[in-house]
Amino acid sequence: MISDNTLYRDTFGVLKWRCAEGGAEINVRPTRAFPLSDPRRFVALIDADGNEVALIEDLEALPSRPRELLLQELEQSYFLPQVVAVAQITDDFGIQRWEVETDRGTRTFEVRSREDLRWVHPGHLLIRDVDGNRYEVKRFEDLDLPSRLKIETYL
């Protein structure tokens, strides 16, 4: 069971978990089982050796302090800007250069091939750049027409 005193940050800001009252402290990092389709359910706490030490079925069921700690940590791990508009996509020797507006500001990145553009489900597009960063278009139909046409050229 996760409570206010079993999940906390130490003085260095490292996320720690204590499995029982008086038990050993373990460095943990949260990992989502379904990061795109159900990000607030089934979050595993993973130790330094890669072992799952706890599974949280629903973040909403946690007390507020541990829930906030986990959400902060997950936000850092799952950096996934939302593309809200496409200014330009150019193709130079098979590498696409995307200039986009995201919910986190203007970004420019490069995409190698069509395989780096993936439909998660109808209307939900995931884009992976050459550095492994991911961007998403949650609702393709909500993009303005020029942005949709630019992307459709490369699908």
pLDDT tens digits for range 6-21 = 888 888 888 999 876 6
φ/ψ (deg, to 5) at 116: -85, 0
Domain tally for the chain? 2
Nearest to 47, CA basis, from 17, 21, 72: 17
- For residues 18 and 67, state if they share a domain: yes
102-136 pLDDT tens trace: 999 999 999 998 899 999 889 999 999 998 889 99
Q: Confirm if 69 and 7 have CB atoms less than 8 A apart.
A: yes
pLDDT-derived band of residue 2, with 50, 70 and 90 as boundaries?
confident
Distance CA 24, CA 39 (A): 28
pLDDT value at residue 88: 96
pTM: 0.62
24-52 pLDDT tens trace: 889 999 999 988 788 889 999 999 899 99
**Domain end call among 42, 77, 112:** 77
pLDDT value at residue 4: 60
Distance CA 99, CA 85 (A): 9
- For residues 73 and 87, state if they share a domain: no
- For residues 56 and 90, state if they share a domain: no
pLDDT value at residue 5: 66
Calculate mean pLDDT across residues 66-71.
91
- For residues 110 and 68, state if they share a domain: no
- For residues 87 and 72, state if they share a domain: no
Which residue segment(s) compose the domain that 11 sits in?
7-77
Q: Indicate the pairing of strand 7-9 with strand 15-18.
A: antiparallel
- For residues 73 and 96, state if they share a domain: no
C-alpha dist (Å) from residue 59 to 2, 11, 30, 105: 10, 24, 11, 28
Q: Does 1 reside within a domain?
A: no
**Domain end call among 48, 77, 106:** 77
- For residues 95 and 139, state if they share a domain: yes
- For residues 89 and 129, state if they share a domain: yes
pLDDT value at residue 101: 97
pLDDT value at residue 22: 67
- For residues 73 and 90, state if they share a domain: no
pLDDT-derived band of residue 77, with 50, 70 and 90 as boundaries?
confident
Q: Confirm if 15 and 71 have CB atoms less than 8 A apart.
A: no
- For residues 18 and 60, state if they share a domain: yes
